């Protein structure tokens, strides 16, 4: 299905935003509601379900936090995320130096965290049961951990030297966090440990001994502005402004050396890309100028390029229930990419006329009734 993704002529997403869309998130409970955040601070919530049951339909906006709302973000919304366990709450962070926790029903902030610098990104663990920490990346090199339960920013993780542009919790271990910074480094942390840092990923896998210690242990030769774990948490994909994407073994920290070729990335801020879930093989969907490049994660092959936006694509999000993809762009549009309907090859030919040896033994009927056996 992913291989046949195309811009869907029958599904539209209602156009509400008047400025570029930076971030999208689909709630993991039902996979039905999607949030979007834009450069003018506006947040919109969409219902992706086809309520009309017509073949052509528009995903309606249920509500928005618009410019007239007293609680609207003053500057660009960089990240929106649903609370992982139910749709009663969502979070947003912005260049206005705040992270807001929203009550979905009242559309009012239940809590607001303030920071000293611009907020580039935040993330809540999709699997945590023992903590309610939100990791926040700001202009400061310190990674902030905000505790939803106490309403305070409790821990700070120190180790980066420049702004933190990407943060991602492991979907496998609830205390493991990956962070990417403008200093070219990707760090893995165990937030229970005082020192925190478990590993600083090294693109050369420790072999570049002649280099000065200054250049050692960088993940990219540029800003690291995107991170995404595979759904099983065993690998981490990083993207940098050196036009490279790298796949890391998340337990050993080893660079797997998969070659994706040149992945153009001129973003001055975080880049929101996505990895498929439940597909074999897994695919990465990466904003690439005004297009979306689709790669196979483990071979690095560029499978296809999705064209349809008129301007820079900033984010994409994968809907695992139906293998759909949604993308948001500077052109103010959200596009839906849906697998093309399959044309059945066997319509005209009855299966009996196919030579039997061409049937894969895996598909042959191996079932026998007890009557046959005597």
> What average pLDDT does the segment 60-73 reach?
93
List the one residue out of 329, 328, 331, 317 whose CA is nearest residue 33: 317
The widest CA-to-CA distance across the chain, in whole angstroms, is 80
Report whether pLDDT(16) > 60.
yes
For residue 215, give the nearest of 183, 190, 238 by alpha carbon.
183
pLDDT at 348: 46
* Contacts of residue 324, Cβ cutoff 8 Å, sequence gap at least 6: 318, 336, 337, 338, 339
Residue 112, token pair as written in the block: 């607001």
Look up residue 220 and give its two tokens: 């990219």
pLDDT value of position 99: 97
- Give the pLDDT of residue 366: 46
Structure confidence by residue, pLDDT tens digits, 162-220: 999 999 999 999 999 999 999 999 999 999 987 779 999 999 998 865 455 555 689 99
Residue (of 128, 85, 132) closest to 113 by Cα position: 132
CA distance 276 to 231: 8
Q: What pLDDT does 361 receive? A: 44
pLDDT for the residue numbered 369: 46
Q: Which of 86-95, 130-139, 197-206, 334-343 has the lowest mean pLDDT?
A: 334-343
- Is the per-residue pLDDT at 295 higher than 50? yes
Q: What is the mean pLDDT of residues 83-88?
A: 93
Most confident of 49-58, 143-152, 177-186: 177-186
CA distance 186 to 204: 13
pLDDT of 215: 58
Would you say residue 62 has pLDDT above 70?
yes
Residue 87 has pLDDT above 50, yes or no: yes
When pLDDT is averaged across residues 48-62 and rounded to a whole number, the result is 91
pLDDT (0 to 100) of residue 203: 95
- Smallest Cα–Cα separation from 329: which of 14, 17, 2? 17
**DSSP category for residue 75:** S
Categorize the per-residue pLDDT at 244 as very low, low, confident or very high, splitting at 50, 70 and 90: very high
What is the Cα–Cα distance from 357 to 363, expressed in whole angstroms? Answer: 12
Count CB-CB contacts under 10 A for residue 286. Answer: 27
Strand arrangement of the beta sheet that strand 89-94 belongs to: 77-82, 89-94, 98-103, 108-114
Kindly report which listed range (296-305, 318-327, 334-343) carries the lowest average pLDDT score: 334-343
Give the residue with greater pLDDT, 291 vs 371.
Answer: 291
**Residue 279 confidence (pLDDT):** 85
Report whether pLDDT(126) > 70: yes
Mean per-residue pLDDT over the chain, rounded: 89
* 3-state SS, residue 357: helix
Region 272-276: mean pLDDT is 96
pLDDT class of 356 with cuts at 50, 70, 90: very low
With tokens 């601070």, the residue in question is 41
Residue 342 — pLDDT band, cuts 50, 70, 90? low
Name the token pair of 102: 């929203």
Q: Using pLDDT thresholds of 50, 70 and 90, give the confidence band for residue 17.
A: very high
Residue 316 sits at the vertex; the CA angle it makes with 315 and 321, to the nearest 5 degrees, is 155
CB of 306 closer than 8 Å to CB of 291:
yes
Q: How far is CA 341 from CA 3, 6, 55, 327, in A?
A: 12, 10, 12, 20
CB–CB of 296/305 below 8 Å?
no
Mean pLDDT confidence for 317-336: 95
**pLDDT value of residue 364:** 46
CA 90 to chain CA centroid, nearest Å = 16
Q: Domains of the chain, with CATH numbers?
A: 2-339 (2.130.10.10)
The neighbour count for residue 307, using CB atoms within 10 Å, is 11
pLDDT of 353 strictly over 60: no
pLDDT at 374: 45
pLDDT of residue 368: 46
Q: What is the pTM of this model?
A: 0.88
* Strand, coil or helix: 307: strand
Look at residue 91 and tell me whether its pLDDT is greater than 60. Answer: yes
Alpha carbon distance 50, 361 (integer Å): 39
């Amino acid at each position: 299905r992913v291989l046949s993704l195309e811009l869907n002529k029958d599904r539209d997403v209602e156009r509400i935003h008047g400025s570029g869309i930076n971030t999208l998130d689909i709630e993991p409970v039902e996979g039905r509601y999607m949030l979007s955040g834009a450069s003018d601070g506006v947040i919109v919530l969409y219902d992706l379900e086809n309520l009309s049951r017509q073949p052509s339909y528009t995903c309606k906006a249920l509500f928005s936090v618009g410019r007239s709302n007293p609680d609207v973000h003053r500057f660009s919304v960089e990240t929106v995320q649903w609370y992982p366990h139910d749709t009663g709450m969502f979070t947003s962070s912005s260049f206005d130096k705040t992270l807001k926790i929203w009550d979905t029903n009242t559309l009012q902030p239940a809590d607001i965290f303030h920071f000293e610098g611009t907020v580039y990104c935040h993330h809540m663990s999709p699997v945590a049961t023992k903590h309610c920490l939100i990791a926040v990346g700001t202009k400061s090199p310190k990674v902030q951990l905000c505790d939803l339960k106490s309403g305070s920013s409790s821990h700070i993780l120190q180790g980066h030297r420049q702004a933190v542009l990407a943060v991602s919790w492991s979907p496998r271990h609830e205390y493991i966090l990956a962070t990417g910074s403008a200093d070219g480094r990707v760090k893995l942390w165990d937030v229970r440990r005082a020192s925190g840092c478990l590993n600083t990923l090294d693109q050369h896998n420790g072999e570049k001994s002649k280099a000065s210690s200054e250049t050692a242990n960088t993940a990219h030769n540029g800003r690291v502005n995107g991170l995404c774990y595979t759904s099983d948490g065993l690998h981490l994909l990083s993207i940098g402004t050196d036009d490279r994407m790298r796949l890391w073994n998340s337990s050993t920290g080893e660079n797997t050396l998969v070659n994706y070729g040149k992945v153009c990335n001129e973003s001055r801020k975080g880049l929101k890309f996505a990895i498929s879930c439940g597909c074999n093989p897994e695919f990465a969907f990466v904003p690439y100028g005004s297009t979306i490049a689709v790669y196979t994660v483990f071979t690095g092959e560029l499978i296809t390029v999705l064209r349809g936006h008129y301007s820079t694509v900033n984010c994409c999000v994968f809907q695992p229930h139906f293998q759909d993809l949604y993308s948001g762009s500077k052109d103010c549009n959200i596009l839906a990419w849906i697998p093309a309907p399959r044309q059945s090859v066997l319509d005209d030919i009855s299966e009996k006329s196919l030579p039997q040896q061409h049937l894969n033994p895996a598909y042959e009927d191996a079932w026998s009734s007890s009557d046959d056996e005597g």
